[in-house]
Structure 1
């Protein structure tokens, strides 16, 4: 990688000390002139920090919840159109845990909200915020449990402060036999929201199967890749949603390794992990075509003996990463990839065949000086989380950096444990 292609650290600001005994995703949200960080502190308590840019001085508010050992219990932040922060965190098949500011930018006004709608809130997992097509704030989560869950979508009216169902029915339903694990929805360049998912039969991650896809212009009315309308909830029997039918249980599909990108013609390309015919780990690119067969191409050349094996329940450590493909001005595509401990880089893909033309050096958003570990405790990993908001400066992004042990199947670790880690926000100028 050339020096001019490397990210440059512009600023690094300490936030506080954070729990390091296992990985659980924190949150960073920049909405100039404010920046918010959500994290679990050294005592595992949920903390919301905020500052006014460019001041390095933070204000803090501890909230009445603490994380255990479950790596599912991520933190999600969203700022509504009035400037009030919304927080969802620390839940895995457990009652909805939701906090909300009552006065814009005022941490002291944060209150816990007991209920949004009043039903389907007893067993919540995977909370996510999303901006709708009219700029509305949408909150969705899985209701139920692995293998038996429905996807619930709510919409917020910032003027009245009230929630309502975006959809009269769940978006998907496994009919008590399975549930959907999603990549997206992603707002595409073609005016559609694009959604892909795998079905899972139970808590065993090896039971993922049948890669599916649907799209929508308004998040209310959905259609398959051929443009045929779909009724809700979408189920495993919905017409034309399966885009990779040759992916049964045990085929290497895994919900944590999947993404949606686009080519220069605005066609969606799904990137995901799957075993090839010989049983080896590969990253596949699947380009969806509305008027013809979908295009499926494998990438990577890793031996079967070293494939990513996964099974069982609880949070597993992700070993293969396949971010969304990116297109260049000449139409060629870039697929970043990493097989932890084996190889990382960027494949230059032919825009017609999707085959690899060239393997380029790894592309990173983390400056070299921040890749060195600060602590020496055995097994620590570096966490580098992108901003869920926007810096407001072209070519500049914010990231959260901290160090932890990896996920541990949601089970306690025995001492000794690492000391609390230093949590910082990092302002980075990214290469063009």
Structure 2
């Protein structure tokens, strides 16, 4: 037996006996991209096409930067900086997409601000990104927040945003025409009108396995987080004609008086925006994960599903002596994050939740929504922290994207948490922005 063969046999034996983990033999090294702003969290963007990866982020000097590389060449990153800089507002996240012609679209750094949007030419080269001052209506685009790119059932690029401020905003949808190189309003009226008294905070639209786009939202009466109320729902085939779960048409704009209420949670009832997340069971039925206070005042996780003519609502957590008593304005350092339910084994549903930085999975009976088990798991941020050698997983932010070939990419960086959108007392050192290849798609 040669020395080389003996070495191979010894290595296999050491793996089998647990001397060192198999993952350590196969894991790809983290791929460093840049040094980035770490003074507070503001979500970055990651997009994968058949040929390229695109990353949009705030660099160490807070400047919005877009980078690209071929999917088959990790050594060839190309960078381009655009003319906008981040302040201290965690609302100012980045949205990015690639249209059917290959052009890159980037929007971000907006919280009740004028449109900040850049578009490349059809080559998709980030160095051709140029600022586009108006999409459709300059007057309507003067107080923009929450940019989101998505694709409709035909594959057309759609952009949605809030026009106005918290408690006084409307939801607007635009659609892009690649041939003309221009945007137009997707609907004649806003999706939702708060009538100057409230605004809707949406999660979605999410395209379900049933072929419908589903949205869930809460109404909020002011910039104060405790004024969220009334979990609501609608669905659409084309993002233009919207209806309730029973098929009855919802006239646009949807107003509070027309809304289908899933759960009439009152103001100060423990319901918060951005934590009303859609999922689907094995039959393709939409579910909504959210939280509110129970009769004893404890925060609890709930799951809702439309069954026949009613919404079946079930409390799936049983926490005692715990209440996330949030309130006030600005970006919160959230204690709870929820995700949509997904089918599990043996007729069960899995509902991911993070509470106080601990990742959990609730296992519920798929038929009755009866809770079965609460178990601790490892979140994407925790797995990324291990790969990066960072002790405090709460400091790690992640964004994931799946390429057309099914490969999952994870973008990770270390940052301080939100600070109510106020300046920190000190500016921390920038952190490394890295790309990881060996972390399964998951939650947080």
TM over 0.5: yes
Question: Cα deviations across residues 33-74 of structure 1 (Å, max 9, x unaligned)?
Answer: 100100101100010010011212210001101000000000
Which structure ranks higher in relative contact order (CA pairs < 8 Å, sequence separation ≥ 6)? 1
Find the residue that maps to 2:245 and give its secondary structure.
coil
The 1-side partners of 2:325 and 2:382 are apart by 31
Q: Would the alpha carbon gap of residues 133 and 4 (structure 1) be closer, same or farther in structure 2, given more than 3 Å must change?
A: farther
- Structure 1 spans left out of the alignment, 5+ residues: none
Are positions 1:331 and 2:331 aligned together? no
Find the residue that maps to 2:258 and give its secondary structure.
coil
Residues 20-419 of structure 1 mapped to structure 2, 5 A cutoff? 20-56=38-74, 57-118=76-137, 119-238=139-258, 241-245=260-264, 247-289=265-307, 291-304=308-321, 306-328=322-344, 330-341=346-357, 343-365=358-380, 368=383, 370-371=385-386, 381-387=395-401, 390-394=402-406, 396-415=407-426, 417-419=427-429
What's the TM-score, normalizing by structure 2?
A: 0.90
- Structure 2 spans left out of the alignment, 5+ residues: 1-20
**Contact 2:92–2:109, Cα closer than 8 Å, also in 1:** yes
Structure 1: 4+ residue segments shifted above 6 A:
3-6
What's the TM-score, normalizing by structure 1?
A: 0.92
Q: Would the alpha carbon gap of residues 366 and 67 (structure 1) be closer, same or farther in structure 2, given more than 3 Å must change?
A: closer
More helix per residue: 1 or 2? Answer: 2
Q: Would the alpha carbon gap of residues 409 and 329 (structure 1) be closer, same or farther in structure 2, given more than 3 Å must change?
A: same
**Contact 2:384–2:412, Cα closer than 8 Å, also in 1:** no
The 2-side partners of 1:315 and 1:349 are apart by 32
Residue equivalent to 1:424:
434
Larger Rg: 2
Q: Would the alpha carbon gap of residues 316 and 177 (structure 1) be closer, same or farther in structure 2, given more than 3 Å must change?
A: same
**Contact 1:169–1:232, Cα closer than 8 Å, also in 2:** yes
The 2-side partners of 1:424 and 1:111 are apart by 26
Instruction: Return the offset for 1:345.
Output: 2.0
Find the residue that maps to 2:127 and give its secondary structure.
helix
Range 190-199 or range 422-431, more displaced: 422-431
Q: Note the aligned Cα RMSD (angstroms).
A: 2.2
The 2-side partners of 1:421 and 1:54 are apart by 26
Find the residue that maps to 2:226 and give its secondary structure.
helix
The 2-side partners of 1:356 and 1:270 are apart by 15
**Contact 1:5–1:431, Cα closer than 8 Å, also in 2:** no
**Contact 2:384–2:439, Cα closer than 8 Å, also in 1:** no
Instruction: Return the offset for 1:303.
Output: 2.5
